[in-house]
Amino acid sequence: MSKIEEARELLEKNGQAHIKVNNEELAEQILKLDFNKIKTLYSRLNKKIKFENVEPVKAINPDKLPREQIEEYKQIGEDIIKQKKFAVAIMAGGQGTRLGHHGPKGTFKVKINNTDKYLFEIIIEKLLKAKKEYNVYIPCYIMTSSENNSETVRFFEENNFFGYPKEYLKCFIQEDLPLLDEDGKLILGEDKKIKLASEGNGGIFCSMKKNKIIAEMKRKNIEWIFIGAVDNLLAKYVDTLLLGLTVSQNTKIATRTVIKSNPCEKVGVICKQNNKIKVVEYTEIPEEMRTAVNEDGEMLFGESHIMCNLFNIKALEIASTNKMKYHAAHKKTNYIDNNNRLVIPKKENCYKFEKFIFDSFELFDDITILRGKRAEDFAPIKNSEGQDSPETAIKLYEAYITKKA
């Protein structure tokens, strides 16, 4: 049987015969799909997530610690970096749909104090600053997607890796999953191939394993890995305080948070459920949890996850061998219909399935939570305008570097 015939049979067997296969490329793509997984994801769509037995978590507020203690923690972190036991991983496989930038989000340009800078460039500047301070090039691993990998690699090459030695920068590609329409059917994209999308930032663990990044880290005796987003101008990728504090608290994972600005802010919040660490995404948080306050009127579930995560290498290994759940997002996507016409939908028409990095937290009994400050730690670029846009993020970042200068 030819590949084309094989693909047609597979589609027929799995209720996807609306996809007409007439070339080898498409056939090969179809033969690689995991139809059981696709069916399971769609069948779980309307499953309600239960939030019973949730309780708030305790964060460490550095403002309440003595100065000497903070210095001690920072020293511990610094020593780990100097011993070359620390690496950074950047999650850059997202599609940045809300921002609407053409190309990988890290190639988005912002004007900082009248100078144009790319998001990737700002990250590299932070690593170069660490090199100056600790005399160590910190290995940096960048997770890309099959959609944006070649563009990301080309971008770094064209920009001469922004002065970072290229042997310390490595891109690896995360896994994809098909988008499904509202009836659970596969979708054809403008390139006449099945429309795929990266499987969420929680895909970092299995992708690191598959691409032998964890093995490489172990070979290099790396013990601690900071995993952060590409789009937070204020992210501290080389966070000596978080590192030293985590080592002192003897936990295998840690995160830096900020307090939610208001109950409706679109961030995930950290809590405990049945003694496991959990982050409840803003799209899934029940009203009573969102609005719960203590006797002083402070939000009970206000500790927000801002994608600043620290993992011990052992924790990475554990997370990479465990199955993580998928969350479904209702999205808008262009597609080619059965009459071969391009359709640009006006409202959400598909489901995208994503793993979230913070779902790995529940694999561990304990976590170190360090409370940061919005003005110093969180300037995300999510939307093209309004809240969490380039404009708001640049303002925060400029104010921070001016204050530091």
List the x/- string, 350-369, binding to ligand UTP by CB under 6 A.
Answer: ----x---------------
List the x/- string, 191-210, binding to ligand UTP by CB under 6 A.
Answer: -------xxxx---------
Shortest Å, Cβ 336 to ligand UTP = 21
Under rule CB under 6 A, residue 229 binds ligand UTP: yes
CA distance 316 to 342: 42
- DSSP 3-state helix, strand, coil percentages of the chain (rounded to 5)? 35, 25, 40
Among 92, 227, 253, 258, binds ligand UTP (CB under 6 A): 92
In the complex with ligand UTP, the residue whose CB is nearer, 8 or 305, is 305
Collapsing DSSP to helix, strand or coil, 15 comes out as coil
Element (H, E) at 196: strand 196-198
Q: Please report how many Cα atoms fall inside a 13 Å half-sphere around the Cα of residue 272, on the Cβ side.
A: 14
| Contact region with ligand UTP (CB under 6 A), list: 226-234, 277-285, 294-302, 362-370 | 226-234
| Contact region with ligand UTP (CB under 6 A), list: 2-10, 56-64, 86-94, 360-368 | 86-94
Residues 378-397 that bind ligand UTP (CB under 6 A): 382
Nearest CA to 309 out of 353, 264, 346, 279 is that of 279
Residues 286-325 that bind ligand UTP (CB under 6 A): 307
Residues 114-143 that bind ligand UTP (CB under 6 A): 143
Shortest Å, Cβ 263 to ligand UTP = 20
* Contact of 278 with 272, CB cutoff 8 Å: yes
Sequence-distant (6+) residues with CB within 8 A of 313 are 214, 217, 218, 222, 223, 224, 225
Give the residue closest to ligand UTP by C-beta. 94
CA distance 335 to 345: 8
Shortest Å, Cβ 71 to ligand UTP = 31
| Contact region with ligand UTP (CB under 6 A), list: 41-49, 64-72, 214-222, 224-232 | 224-232
Under rule CB under 6 A, residue 247 binds ligand UTP: no
Dump the DSSP string for 60-114: B-GGGS-HHHHHHHHHHHHHHHHTT-EEEEEE-----TTTT-SS-GGG-EEEETT
Shortest Å, Cβ 143 to ligand UTP = 5
Tokens representing residue 123 in the block: 């990250």
Collapsing DSSP to helix, strand or coil, 21 comes out as coil
Contact residues toward ligand UTP (CB under 6 A) are 91-98, 105, 143, 174, 198-201, 229-231, 307, 354, 382
